[in-house]
């Protein structure tokens, strides 16, 4: 996939518009030159012989421009670039065939071995054809890029020689450009030699690589949690949609900055699947029809994904687990999280584990609770303002006094889930949520316009 992106980026780097622009400029210069010749004839009517000679010299210059610049670059655009575009179309067709084969291979049910074998064989043949064509495609790109360098320079050098011949008859000032033109000519010769050498070298490498077997699956399976660019792992996965049809779509996934994200295309904006990997778990799934599936579960939703092979599935699971562990190591709450449950892996522990008892006697736990109580507004009850609240609504992320917590319990768990700061157990995920919200943040939303509406906030002395 990265090679494909590189090929397309290289294609866009071919300055076709520059060639068209040069041709247009040359045509404009020719037309302006012809107008200049006509005006010059009228101006030097008294010295007809001299004007005719000058006009002849100018016509020679414009004819040289026509042949050396316009025609030469026009041939380059019409022949070489057109041939290259045809190769690109063929490459795109083969690439689409390979993606179709990948989709069919992924859709092959595990209980039909003959379909699995047929899909795998088709994918192998298509992949081999695609990679052979990709080598031809890269070769043409490099040859075109190399030829472009001396084609333009050769055309411009021919035109400069024509100008030099013209103005040398009357002006010796252009003699200063002679060393520069010689330097360009030497560089042109060297560019031609270098281009020929590069072409032979690329053809040799191409012939050597062609002998390899490209039917094998060499998809990237390694990951690096300490990657300099922050991308732990990336690649294509099939994602099951959350709609009623449960359709599967192929997307480009990546693990970066402690998040799981994907893109429909490489240039699209990132869509975040998991905001914080510390709040999720990952597990393989063997109870569905498709093969190589695994599930990423977060507090708000779950995401079913499918890799292209068992090796890739294991690599993705390990990459998510390693990223979770790395995110915990980088967090200042690492000690408390490890102290809560040293036997459970962050990647396999349940998200909804409120009923499991946990030890809160460590100093790290006290630090977390103190951190929650130190958030803006958490020094008093979110509803009535009573000092030193000891109860919390875990789905709202607020602290409450005991009186207001009883009122919240009466509203029902679909509105507010109440938990004690000192009597109940706390999971790392809930502590993370509580540290992200707080009374001031929530009241800024729920009580944002109560004064304009003429309402009054209750006090600790208010009736129930």
pLDDT at 213: 63
Asked if residues 108 and 116 have their Cβ atoms less than 8 Å apart, the reply is: yes
* Sequence-separated (6 or more) residues with CB below 8 Å from residue 205: none
Sheet arrangement for strand 391-393: 398-400, 391-393, 418-420
- Residue 356: which region, alpha, beta or left (left: phi > 0; alpha: psi -120 to 50)? beta
Q: How far is CA 346 from CA 80, 198, 267, 341, in A?
A: 57, 52, 32, 9
pLDDT at 424: 78
How far, in Å, CA of 186 to CA of 242, rounded? 65
- DSSP-derived letter for residue 226 is T
Domain boundaries, the chain: 2-210, 231-330, 363-446
> Structure pTM?
0.39
Question: Where does 363-446 sit in CATH, by number?
Answer: 1.10.220.150
Q: What is the mean pLDDT of each run of 10 residues along the chain (464 residues)?
A: 56 61 84 85 67 64 66 70 81 88 88 88 89 84 76 72 68 69 89 91 85 61 79 92 89 91 86 85 90 88 91 92 80 42 34 36 52 89 93 92 90 87 81 88 90 91 88
* Sequence-separated (6 or more) residues with CB below 8 Å from residue 296: 260, 273, 274, 280, 281, 282, 302, 303, 305, 320
Q: Domain 231-330's class? A: mainly beta
Asked if residues 5 and 266 have their Cβ atoms less than 8 Å apart, the reply is: yes
pLDDT at 347: 35
Asked if residues 313 and 293 have their Cβ atoms less than 8 Å apart, the reply is: yes
How far, in Å, CA of 97 to CA of 113, rounded? 22
* Sequence-separated (6 or more) residues with CB below 8 Å from residue 245: none
Asked if residues 270 and 263 have their Cβ atoms less than 8 Å apart, the reply is: yes
The CATH label, of 1.10.3720.10, 1.20.1270.60, 1.10.3210.10, 2.40.160.20, for the domain at 2-210 is: 1.20.1270.60
Q: In CATH terms, are 2-210 and 231-330 the same topology?
A: no
* Sequence-separated (6 or more) residues with CB below 8 Å from residue 443: 377, 382
C-alpha distance across the termini of the chain, in Å: 63
């Amino acid at each position: 996939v990265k090679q494909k992106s590189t090929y397309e980026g290289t294609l866009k780097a071919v300055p076709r518009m520059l060639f068209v622009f040069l041709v247009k400029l040359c045509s404009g210069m020719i037309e302006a030159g012809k107008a200049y010749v006509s005006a010059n004839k009228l101006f030097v009517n008294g010295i007809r012989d001299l004007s005719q000679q000058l006009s002849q010299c100018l016509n020679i210059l414009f004819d040289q421009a026509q042949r050396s610049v316009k025609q030469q670059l026009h041939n380059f655009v019409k022949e070489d670039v057109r041939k290259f575009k045809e190769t690109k179309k063929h490459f795109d067709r083969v690439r689409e065939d390979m993606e179709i084969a990948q989709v069919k291979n992924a859709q092959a049910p595990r209980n039909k071995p003959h379909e699995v074998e047929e899909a795998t064989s088709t994918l192998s043949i298509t992949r081999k054809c695609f990679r052979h064509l990709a080598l031809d495609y890269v070769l043409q790109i490099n040859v075109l890029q190399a030829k472009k360098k001396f084609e333009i320079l050769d055309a411009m050098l021919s035109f400069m020689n024509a100008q030099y011949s013209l103005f040398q008859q009357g002006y010796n000032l252009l003699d200063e450009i002679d060393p520069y033109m010689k330097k360009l000519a030497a560089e042109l010769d060297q560019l031609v030699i270098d281009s020929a050498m590069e072409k032979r070298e690329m053809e040799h490498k191409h012939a050597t690589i062609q002998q390899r077997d490209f039917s094998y699956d060499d998809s990237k399976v390694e990951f690096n949690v300490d990657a300099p660019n922050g991308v732990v792992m990336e690649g294509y996965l099939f994602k099951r949609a959350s709609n009623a049809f449960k359709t599967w779509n192929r997307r480009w996934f990546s693990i970066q900055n402690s998040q799981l994200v994907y893109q429909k295309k490489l240039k699209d904006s990132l869509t975040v699947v998991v905001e914080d990997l510390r709040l999720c778990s990952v597990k393989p799934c063997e109870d569905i029809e498709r093969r190589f599936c695994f599930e990423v579960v977060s507090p708000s939703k779950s995401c079913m994904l499918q890799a292209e092979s068992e090796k890739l599935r294991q690599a993705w699971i390990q990459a998510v687990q390693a990223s979770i562990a790395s995110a915990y190591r980088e967090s200042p709450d690492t000690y408390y999280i490890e102290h809560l449950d040293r036997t459970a892996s962050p990647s396999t522990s349940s998200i909804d584990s409120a009923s499991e008892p946990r030890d809160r006697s460590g100093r790290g736990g006290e630090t977390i609770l103190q951190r929650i109580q130190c958030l803006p507004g958490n020094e008093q009850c979110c509803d009535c303002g009573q000092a030193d609240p000891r109860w919390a609504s875990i789905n709202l992320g607020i602290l409450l006094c005991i009186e207001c917590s009883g009122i919240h319990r009466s509203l029902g768990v679909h509105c507010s889930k109440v938990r004690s700061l000192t009597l109940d157990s706390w999971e790392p995920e809930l502590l993370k949520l509580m540290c992200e919200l707080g009374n001031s943040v929530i009241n800024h939303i729920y009580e944002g316009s109560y004064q304009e509406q003429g309402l009054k906030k209750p006090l600790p002395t208010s009736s129930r």
